[in-house]
Structure 1
Amino acid sequence: MESSKVYHVGAAASLAVLIAWLLAWEMLVAPLKPGGSLLALKVIPLLIPLRGVLKRDVYTLQWTSMLILLYFAEGVVRGYSDLDATSRFMGLGEVALTLVYFACALLYLRPYKKAAKKMARDLLDKVNRATHE
């Protein structure tokens, strides 16, 4: 399998699993209140880019790599500060899933960034040549 495809599948899968993980955490596994809590609504910002990530939209993958850092921070805080051991485990699982997404998204975007830099460099060289003639 081509490496960019592996990175895309890794990003898409980790995002989908993260959504399911967070819903399960707040509704079933370790909710703040019995029967679930409104914290389950925190998955909504992750649902918005899901379609773009599945379609390999470069722009969506770029901005979600920054969005996912909010979930990383939440996972770290809850993984180390929650009193319930199950909730701490879920928080650390959230951290792992966000790291997988972040790494896969950046590795998938790497060739696009290199191509954009090369295009900008070539354009700048062309402008410099035109101004010196």
Structure 2
Amino acid sequence: METSKVYHIGAAASLMVLIAWLLAWEMVVAPLKPGGSLLALKVVPLLLPLRGVLKRDVYTLQWSSMLILLYFAEGVVRGYSDRDEISRMMGYGEVALVCIYFACALLFLHPYKKAARKLARELLDKVNRATHE
């Protein structure tokens, strides 16, 4: 299987699992209030890039790799500070899923960024040659 396809599948799968993970955490596994809490709404921002990630949209993967870092911070804070052991484990699970998404997204984007740098260098060389003539 082509490596970019593997990275795309990894990013898409980890994003979908993260959404399910966060919903399960706040609604069933360790909700702040019995029956679930409004903290489950924190998955809404993750739904915004889902379609673009599934379609391999480069721009969406770029900005979502920055958005996902908010969930990294939340997972670290809750993993370190929650009193409930299950909730702490869910926080560390969130961190792991975010790291998988982030790594897969960056590895998927690497060839595109490399090609963009090459094109920019070529254009700059053309401009420099045109101005020196």
- AA in 2 matched with 1:35: G
TM-score, structure 2 as length reference? 1.00
Paired with 1:106 and 1:63, the residues of 2 have a C-alpha distance of 11
1:16-74, CA deviations, whole angstroms, 9 ceiling, x for partnerless residues? Answer: 00000000000000000000000000000000110000000000000000000000000
Structure 1: 4+ residue segments shifted above 3 A: none
- Report the CA distance between 1:14 and its aligned residue: 0.1
| Structure 1: gaps spanning 5 or more residues | none
Q: What percent identity do the matched residue pairs reach?
A: 85
Aligned to 1:21: 21
1:68-93 CA distance string (max 9 Å, x none): 00000000000010000000000000
SS in 2 for 1:48: helix
Match of 1:80 in 2: 80
1:50 is matched with which residue? Answer: 50
What's 1:131 paired with? 131
Question: 1:70: which partner in 2?
Answer: 70
Distance in 2 of aligned mates of 1:53 and 1:27: 25
Structure 1 residue 122 displacement after superposition:
0.1
Q: Does residue 102 of structure 2 align to residue 102 of structure 1? A: yes
In the TM superposition, residue 8 of structure 1 has moved relative to its aligned partner by: 0.2
The residue type paired with residue 41 of structure 2 is: L
Q: Secondary structure at the match of 2:9?
A: helix
Deviation at 1:102, TM superposition (A): 0.2
Matched residue pairs, number?
Answer: 133
Gaps of 5+ in 2: none
Q: Give the SS at the match of 1:19.
A: helix
Provide the secondary structure at the position in 2 that maps to 1:107.
helix
Amino acid at match of 2:15: L
Residues 81-122 of structure 1, C-alpha deviations (whole Å, 9 max, x = no match): 000000000000000000000000000000000000000000
Q: Distance in 1 between matches of 2:48 and 2:120?
A: 31
Instruction: Return the letter of the residue paired with 1:72.
Output: F
2:39 maps to 39
Report the TM-score, using the length of structure 1 for normalisation: 1.00
